[in-house]
Amino acid sequence: MSERLDLESIARKAGVSRSTVSRVINDSPHVSERTRQHVLAIIEQENFHPNTAARALVKRRTDILGVVIPTSANVFLSDNNYYPLILAGLGEAIRQLDYAMLMWLGEVTHDDQHLMRKLSNPYLTDGLIFVSLPNDHPLYDKLSRLRQPFVMIDRPFGELENASYVSIDNLRAAEIATEHLIRLGRRRIAHITGMLTITDACDRLEGYKNALCAAGLPVDSQLIAEGVFNYESGYRAMKQLLPHRPDGLFAANDTMAAGALHAALEAGLRVPEDLSIVGFDDVDVAMQTTPSLTTIRQPIRAKGEVAARLLVDLINNRVSAPQHVILPTELIIRQSCGATNHTKGGDAHTAE
Amino acid sequence: MSERLDLESIARKAGVSRSTVSRVINDSPHVSERTRQHVLAIIEQENFHPNTAARALVKRRTDILGVVIPTSANVFLSDNNYYPLILAGLGEAIRQLDYAMLMWLGEVTHDDQHLMRKLSNPYLTDGLIFVSLPNDHPLYDKLSRLRQPFVMIDRPFGELENASYVSIDNLRAAEIATEHLIRLGRRRIAHITGMLTITDACDRLEGYKNALCAAGLPVDSQLIAEGVFNYESGYRAMKQLLPHRPDGLFAANDTMAAGALHAALEAGLRVPEDLSIVGFDDVDVAMQTTPSLTTIRQPIRAKGEVAARLLVDLINNRVSAPQHVILPTELIIRQSCGATNHTKGGDAHTAE
DNA sequence: TAGCCTTTTGGGAGCGCTCTCAAAATTGGT
DNA sequence: ACCAATTTTGAGAGCGCTCCCAAAAGGCTA
């Protein structure tokens, strides 16, 4: 019904040229204040929106960042709110940077080829962020062929040249968690790993072993059970560990720690008296269990924020790849480990 | 370094015209098989990607769907995995439909104007999906001025003409939950509401009241406490309800039910003996509490999937707005209500 | 008021694609 | 082998914007 709106039609109504309208839209300083206000008024009145496709065509910029979370459904969806937190951090930072966020979720194995073509289309996004890309993922090999700048959240496996990432020192954090249990006098310390296709999980396992070795304790494979970062797998892993009488447990995330706690309590163990538990992440669930979980806090939201900013810096050539950012972690002592602590953590109901 | 790739350059290399390459890319039937294969080979060899901006400019289609989750941070991020499930449903369906998903997360109050301009730009997305838009949200008024097709997940407040939505019958589901408690002999049934700016929460409150009235039970405002859909608020609400000695509780979602359960157990109540609890959603947490939660299951992923398909139908004029889709719910009986049940639900560790 | 410099404005070209229409090549029937 | 029908291909225009450059307008000094 209403004629189609473009720069030209706005220009005509405002009695100026297309170029001037363009300048107004792009906040160019080369427009008199009088003209700017007038054009702005017409734009408002006509409810005009510049065509982003036309703009992108000439500027070779879409102002869109792509986010890929290839994590399998049962981890993303489940009780583990690591990914929602990452997303929140990404979403907020990306919006602040005045970009839009294009998202691909879930397993991409089946339409791998197809998706990769979309992802690697340099005209769709200005850059990409990969979250927790498993090292056996089909996208892995294609990364090196990517033309666009990209940032990974969580350290990639092996030496991926040109890959920038944002992560934490998982190895050291796991050592700290395990050392804490050792310091509390535990000698049969078990570990529930995360999905071992994710480097973070491998590093945490490594850190756990390191700490045992450093303390002269044996690394007993019967005290190591594999999980996949969700509650269910933590519960199962603990069932499997219980016959080997652990007196301490370091779980690769809080969600699995909660599942393990459930299994331990069900088996009649007292926590922390009989079994000392330390988790990882410090997500909400850590404060909702009884007893609440001692854990390693990592800045999950910040990972997303930092990754987004880093990507934009990469896009604008303010820095050049690869960049590696390591964010700090912190041991948060609550009830599940049995250490007395009067300053940190707090219970479930006085959270900030 | 390498020359810029476009249709023309591919055409030159293949010894055909730009038009032919375009036809190949768009799967036009008007190309001989011989030519198609040849061109395809060149495209592959050169790793060519058509410029989406140029295509969008002429086709007036971006093949992008916008998803807006304006929910405040503490609900999206928290223990409640309603939104991740919605997202998973949306993400999968949108990918299957061969669209990309553009996302806006979190509160938009501050840069309201700015965001709305971006959202309503008809050249950025082909359509929009709003998830749980609170009725006091600044976007609410602007919905009627939207030119693009849009679909809401969860019923919008009031009579928004032209608004299509996908939801469930919250009113009836809440009645069923409450009736179940009544049937179990409970007489002092409490309710913890969701955020009352979301229509679903209002409907559930209404259904709760309806059921009480229908059973000749009084509606006691002291037995109604307001929550915001997260664990913390469920815990607090229960603390507030306990002095009024409820013997039953219907919580507007599982996460709050879990918080309430925590508070009840802490206060020394036995569940379900002293207090019968029914939740809503049937998310993972419902099977992880002890006792596990009786709840109303709603098809959360399906909401996302259906909304995406509906939006695409709207975009392609296969249906016309407004469309209202109501998905089915189901009462899942577990331990927290005290009803004996031998067929449904199961415990936390035998999930499907 | 003329002359110079600065600020502001306008017009043309072109980004890479799709679409329409016409031309060329192929097919089939006689 | 010829003409009509069909299939396949090519060229031109144009989508709505930005960018470059030149022209116009405005400000200042002499």
Q: Do domains A64-168+301-327 and A170-299+330-350 have the same CATH topology?
A: yes
User: Residue-wise pLDDT tens for chain B (352 aa)?
Assistant: 456 789 999 999 999 999 999 999 999 999 999 999 999 999 999 999 999 999 999 999 999 999 999 876 666 666 678 998 999 999 999 999 999 999 998 765 556 667 777 888 889 999 999 999 988 888 888 888 888 999 999 998 877 888 999 999 999 999 999 999 999 999 999 999 999 999 999 999 999 999 999 999 999 999 999 999 999 999 999 999 999 999 999 999 999 999 999 999 999 999 999 999 999 999 999 999 999 999 999 999 999 999 999 999 999 999 998 999 999 999 999 999 998 754 443 343 333 2
Integer CA distances (angstroms), B171 to B45, B208, B211, B326, in order: 58, 8, 10, 12
Angle at B329 between CA B327 and CA B331, to 5 degrees: 175
Q: For the residues A215-242, what does the mean pLDDT come to? A: 96
Helices (H), chain B: 7-14, 18-25, 33-46, 52-59, 73-76, 82-96, 112-119, 139-142, 170-183, 199-214, 231-241, 254-266, 285-288, 300-315
Strands of chain A (E only): list them: 64-69, 100-105, 127-131, 150-153, 164-168, 189-193, 224-226, 248-251, 276-281, 294-297, 324-327, 330-332
pLDDT score at A240? 98
Please report, for chain A, the start and end positions of each structural domain, with discontinuous segments joined by +: 7-59, 64-168+301-327, 170-299+330-350
Measured CA to C1', what is the nucleotide nearest A58?
C15
Residues A265-282 as b or e (16 or more Cβ within 10 Å = b): beeebebbeebbbbbbbb
Tell me the one-letter amino acid at B100. Answer: A
CB A73 to CB B84 under 8 A? no
Closest CA to A296 of A166, A179, A157: A179
- Residues in contact with A162: Cβ distance below 8 Å, sequence separation at least 6, in sequence order: A144, A321, A322
- Interface contact flag, B235 A348, Cβ < 8 Å: yes
Token code pair at residue B275: 């207090």
Comparing C-alpha atoms, which of A234, A352, A224 is closest to residue A289?
A234
B314: number of Cβ within 10 Å: 21
Position A237 pLDDT exceeds 70: yes
Q: How far is the CA of A32 from the C1' of C2 (A)?
A: 26
Q: In angstroms, what separates the C-alpha of B215 from chain A's closest C-alpha?
A: 35
Contact B104 A95 (CB under 8 A): yes
Taking CA–CA distances from B86, the nearest residue in chain A reads A77
At the topology level of CATH, where does B170-299+330-350 sit?
A: Rossmann fold (3.40.50)
Task: Identify the DSSP state of A2.
Answer: P
Quick check: B174 and B207 in contact, CB under 8 A? yes
Strands (DSSP E) along B271-347, which ranges? 276-281, 294-297, 324-327, 330-332
Q: Cα angle at B78 between B208 and B290, to 5 degrees?
A: 65
Reported as a single tens digit per residue, the pLDDT across A13-71 is: 999 999 999 999 999 999 999 999 999 999 999 999 999 999 999 999 999 999 999 87
For the record, the structure tokens of B177 come out as 């939950």
Nearest CA in chain A to B82: A77
Residue whose Cα is closest to the C1' of D7? B30
For domain A7-59, is the CATH number 1.10.260.40?
yes
Between the alpha carbon of residue A126 and those of residues A149, B16, B47, B263, the distances in Å are 8, 31, 18, 49
For residue A27, the SS3 value is: coil
Sign of torsion over alpha carbons B128, B129, B131, B135 = positive
Mean pLDDT for chain B overall: 90
How high does pLDDT run on average in chain A? 90
Residues 6+ apart with CB under 8 A from A183: none
Closest nucleotide to B60: CA versus each C1':
D15
Q: Quick one: B64-168+301-327 is in which CATH superfamily? A: Response regulator (3.40.50.2300)
- Give tens-digit pLDDT for A130-179: 999 988 888 888 888 888 999 999 998 877 888 999 999 999 999 999 99
Q: Of the candidates A77, A85, A288, which has its C-beta nearest B88's C-beta?
A: A77
Chain A residue numbers with beta carbons less than 8 Å from the beta carbon of B65 are none
Confidence of residue A294 (pLDDT cuts 50, 70, 90): very high
* B113: nearest CA partner in chain A: A44
- The whole-number Å distance from B16's CA to D11's C1' is 12
B48-67 b/e (C-beta count within 10 Å ≥ 16 → b): bbbbbbbbbbeeeebbbbbb
A 10 A CB-CB count for A243 gives: 9
